[in-house]
Structure 1
């Protein structure tokens, strides 16, 4: 009470002296680090030469003695399985890495997710699993992927990947070679025929006719035969199913290449002379499309019956809640029938979806075979083959929202408009298309694929480079040239004539002043007449100069101002004095005319000439 409040005051900080030598040393060290980082830094971070986790997969050369397949038999044949061993090595400490295995349907694995124990620096972990066939149709690809996800010591998430390839023996067994087949493909080589037992060592026990024929019996039921010619350098593959030949043809080419490399042959080449089997391929395409349409129809019917079922339920609930219930009018019977329809449509939709997945895998196999034949036919390099594969196989799974037909149609159309166009002039500058939806039919897609094969056969080159896709340079049309100067002068003259015609209709103040001045004496009239003659001369000079310099609009101002100055005191100057003055100093006249000329005043000068003619 009555005392002054105490305010806190911060203690004074003692100023420390700066050590400039230490600051300079630190600045030099930081600048050195910045220079080193700027020299080695890239836009895309460089991959480390040695990852913290290395993943390798080894597929067993022998099938499992005790099969791990879910189905013991298929078409009277046992379903085998093969073991895959994955070895994971750690270069630094890793906490709980996770491994994921992915194979293409209808292949399946005993376990696809693994959570490993924490690994120290230099430790190693081994994981085993088995792969088997779990469907009634052959797969489109016998390869699989393994991905191991983990976090580095600094907390950065990383993924290590590796691939593995399963043997052909997993999906088929050797059989007797029957020399008949609906679909046939002939592969040409530049070397003498090789024994099929050397190309397919896993199937050597069934090789017949002096190693020139070999049969493959798929567990799913189809059969493929390989025939080696004794006289020519050809191999024929034939089967009752077009798409089932894909795996055998692929294994045949890989076996031939592998055998030639083992013998030290470096110039071995394969080729396909045609014709390209588009008819067989389009048959597989139509089957897939019809199943897509059926699946969509079942989905629509199922949604309609579901709406009907809910509406009947609401009506029945309203009847049951009523205190004085009335007759049901067979609503219960209608509800039971609708319920059965919903169940039947759901089962049909599931069955159609399963058949659609099977048709999509068959379509992928047929597309792989078509891409391989086109690559051999036109001798495409690896880059062009990758572009063709990305065009015809853009999807790994088929969904109701985005299907294979519309995706491939858009990709093929893009190639036909860019790198496979007939000429550089036909290349599309802008490629804009609407949303991808299920087409009405496959006629357009078949036409585009046929055009793709035709243009490849005519020497078309697949490329995504901007130079290959750049359209031809557009030439400037003749109408874009500069307009010559005389045309502008003619336009100016026509404009002056039109303005003069308009101005004549309106009476001017000069006419009124002229009528008043007519009452003056005859002596003054003569002086005015002489002044008007000088005005005519000046008007003629000004119009001549305006025609020469039509772009400069300042000449008529000088002539108009001179014409205004002259009638103010006509008695003081005569026409002879003015003409002599102009002759003595013409440069001043022209200089003034160039600086003070306008289009409007030049029109007035022409008006004065016509008025002077009327007054005379």
Structure 2
């Protein structure tokens, strides 16, 4: 009993001490938590002009000898134990150096990173992300994120616009059109002065153009390849928003359906390349095991007293070695193809993201859709991009994009199963893109649309992709009981029909 009273006194004393400490230093905790921007000011500026690369990490695989500088300034009001700055861009862009590290920084410092085009491929986005991770003097970690837009000259050069291209996208604004020579004034020195058309050529050799309708507020973007449209749409949207920055009700809209067939094309390319790489890796593993067994057999033969001819084993060892070298060469080539397919798929997904942003939908729902789509395509050894994306698509179809309230009551799909057949994945992706285009499920209060859609028979529904055993056990019993009742009623009717003549 005495120990219990002493413990209670100790807790009361500790509570009073904490209360006094918080009242004596009321701003200490809040300053560390919420005012990191005041304690560490970060200034980021991008050099608008590109320059010839003279950096020591030279650009052996670079598509050009030009680079762009990103200047970063850190102004520290307090002493920080550690500060790490990382500059992130999307492939095929590359940054050197990509990270900077400082310890015990208590004053201002300036440094630069340089961005260049590492491969002759289309670029998904020119947006660079600067991540600043800090550890304060109290040992508390904090992060700051800054965004910067790289100059378009780094990846696109001007050319004569073509009249017609294969892939086209049309954007509409609610403000009077502005001449393209004013929007892209940084290309005027290249002799491009037409107010209604401007042409681009990428490092990969693909050509594209932006055309302005003379009698309406329509901007048509066209390109030889679907992947090049991503950066063109991004630049047009950024420049239009900057020009109409003072207009409150300025709006850019995309009124066509989403290009699902083009996106599925790059998904198929990525999936086929991934399957080929997995197959080659399995062959290399099998040949490596065979090579080790032959080596062990040769060592055993050498150690034997009565040695026999080793020529057959030597031939087998040599053939296995040559086959391993040939397979690994094929594997290296396929890995390069995979890297290109990842970049092309990232371009397609980034274009999709920008077009979805132009839809009139709730901001919270837009964030959820963006979080479900994996714009940066990465493939791990045990998990590919399709595995994560399929789980995200199924979650959307069973929650915010469900057709009826009944579908929303189903348990959301949360498993990360390996995608072995791309047919189901294509159905899920096509459903999401179709409902985004038609704004299906974007408004929960739209009950009329839900009732109409509930009466239609949708053969491409996600439930048809699942096996019977994946249904809830209660629904299975319910279906069985309904069938039994209907069979019993029909049987009773037959007996009544047979009994009626006898009774008469």
The TM-score, its normalising length taken from structure 1, stands at: 0.64
Aligned match of 1:504:
none
- 1:275-354 equivalent positions in 2, closer than 5 A: 275-328=257-310, 330-354=312-336
Q: Based on CA coordinates, which of the two structures has the bigger radius of gyration?
A: 1
Partner secondary structure for residue 87 of structure 2: strand
* Aligned: 1:239 with 2:219: no
Work out the CA distance in 2 between the residues paired with 1:221 and 1:390.
Answer: 33
- 1:495-510 equivalent positions in 2, closer than 5 A: none
Aligned match of 1:436:
417
Aligned with 1:87 (options 73, 81, 87): 73
Partner secondary structure for residue 80 of structure 2: coil
| Contact kept in structure 2, 1:207 and 1:213, CA below 8 Å | no
Aligned match of 1:99:
85
Partner secondary structure for residue 250 of structure 1: helix
Partner secondary structure for residue 145 of structure 1: strand
User: Structure 1, residues 563-598: CA drift from partner, whole Å, max 9, x if none?
Assistant: xxxxxxxxxxxxxxxxxxxxxxxxxxxxxxxxxxxx
* Residue 211 of structure 1: how far off its partner (Å): 1.0
Aligned with 1:213 (options 194, 197, 215): 197
* Residue 329 of structure 1: how far off its partner (Å): 5.1
Aligned match of 1:7:
none
* Aligned: 1:448 with 2:432: no
* Residue 461 of structure 1: how far off its partner (Å): 4.0
Work out the CA distance in 1 between the residues paired with 2:378 and 2:443.
Answer: 26
| Contact kept in structure 2, 1:197 and 1:207, CA below 8 Å | no
Work out the CA distance in 2 between the residues paired with 1:117 and 1:49.
Answer: 17
* Aligned: 1:70 with 2:54: no
Higher strand proportion? 2
* Aligned: 1:164 with 2:145: no
User: Structure 1, residues 64-115: CA drift from partner, whole Å, max 9, x if none?
Assistant: 245548348977xx43101111101111233564433332222222322334
User: Structure 1, residues 131-151: CA drift from partner, whole Å, max 9, x if none?
Assistant: 111112133232233344444
Aligned match of 1:138:
122
Inter-CA distance 28–350: structure 2 relative to 1 (3 Å threshold): closer
Work out the CA distance in 1 between the residues paired with 2:399 and 2:36.
Answer: 39
Work out the CA distance in 1 between the residues paired with 2:83 and 2:244.
Answer: 41
| Contact kept in structure 2, 1:174 and 1:216, CA below 8 Å | yes
Partner secondary structure for residue 431 of structure 1: coil
User: Over aligned residues, Cα RMSD in angstroms?
Assistant: 3.2
User: Structure 1, residues 325-363: CA drift from partner, whole Å, max 9, x if none?
Assistant: 112251111111111111221222122122212211211
User: Structure 1, residues 277-305: CA drift from partner, whole Å, max 9, x if none?
Assistant: 21111111111111111111111111111
| Contact kept in structure 1, 2:53 and 2:65, CA below 8 Å | no
Inter-CA distance 100–374: structure 2 relative to 1 (3 Å threshold): closer
Work out the CA distance in 2 between the residues paired with 1:37 and 1:422.
Answer: 57
Question: Gapped runs of 5+ residues in structure 1?
Answer: 1-25, 465-473, 478-616
* Aligned: 1:223 with 2:207: yes
The TM-score, its normalising length taken from structure 2, stands at: 0.78
Which range moved further: 354-363 or 449-458? Answer: 449-458
Work out the CA distance in 2 between the residues paired with 1:35 and 1:156.
Answer: 18
* Residue 452 of structure 1: how far off its partner (Å): 1.6
Aligned match of 1:409:
390
Aligned match of 1:487:
none
Aligned match of 1:173:
157
Question: Gapped runs of 5+ residues in structure 2?
Answer: 1-12, 445-473, 479-504
Inter-CA distance 40–432: structure 2 relative to 1 (3 Å threshold): farther
Work out the CA distance in 1 between the residues paired with 2:376 and 2:384.
Answer: 8
Higher relative contact order (CA 8 A, sep 6+): 2
| Contact kept in structure 1, 2:398 and 2:413, CA below 8 Å | no
Report runs of 4+ in structure 1 exceeding 6 Å deviation. Answer: 26-29, 37-43, 72-75
Work out the CA distance in 2 between the residues paired with 1:432 and 1:452.
Answer: 15
Work out the CA distance in 2 between the residues paired with 1:79 and 1:35.
Answer: 58
Partner secondary structure for residue 153 of structure 1: coil
| Contact kept in structure 1, 2:122 and 2:227, CA below 8 Å | no
* Residue 397 of structure 1: how far off its partner (Å): 2.0
Work out the CA distance in 2 between the residues paired with 1:160 and 1:208.
Answer: 40
Aligned match of 1:250:
234
- 1:31-42 equivalent positions in 2, closer than 5 A: 33=20
- 1:474-493 equivalent positions in 2, closer than 5 A: none
Work out the CA distance in 2 between the residues paired with 1:408 and 1:438.
Answer: 10
* Residue 255 of structure 1: how far off its partner (Å): 0.9
* Residue 177 of structure 1: how far off its partner (Å): 0.7
Aligned match of 2:39:
52
Aligned match of 1:190:
174
* Residue 237 of structure 1: how far off its partner (Å): 0.8
| Contact kept in structure 2, 1:100 and 1:147, CA below 8 Å | yes
Work out the CA distance in 1 between the residues paired with 2:60 and 2:33.
Answer: 49
| Contact kept in structure 1, 2:126 and 2:150, CA below 8 Å | yes
* Residue 249 of structure 1: how far off its partner (Å): 0.6
* Aligned: 1:199 with 2:180: no
User: Structure 1, residues 225-262: CA drift from partner, whole Å, max 9, x if none?
Assistant: 1111111211111111101110011110111111112x
| Contact kept in structure 1, 2:173 and 2:251, CA below 8 Å | yes
Aligned match of 1:3:
none
* Residue 396 of structure 1: how far off its partner (Å): 4.7
